[in-house]
Amino acid sequence: MSDATFTFRVDEGLKAEFASAAKAHDRTGAQLLRDFMRDYVARQQQAQDYDDWLITKVEQSRASAEAGNLIPDADVEARFAARRAATRARLAKAK
């Protein structure tokens, strides 16, 4: 992989503080900037991967609902009412 130069302007005070902070951790500013760039790219890729995953899940859910794979509201309410009651019972025992 060939190296490329990345040039940008920054306030002289910020540059000095950054260089000092980098030196305090035995790093150069260039090393830290490369690390920051790699981290940023990785975070953006993770966010895109999550968005892609979520879109796929939503599309699958919509297709399932359109195919009639639904649970009636009353069944959902009854199931969660039972879970709430069980949780309350466990909490009452713990007191």
Residue-wise pLDDT for 48-64, tens only, equals 999 999 999 999 999 99
3, pLDDT greater than 90? no
Contacts of 32 (CB under 8 A, 6+ apart): 18, 22
Res 31 pLDDT > 70: yes
What global pTM score does this model have? 0.67
Are the C-beta atoms of residues 33 and 44 closer than 8 Å to each other?
no
* C-beta neighbour count of 19 within 10 angstroms: 14
Dist. CA 62–CA 64, nearest whole Å:
5
Cβ–Cβ < 8 Å for 14, 4: no
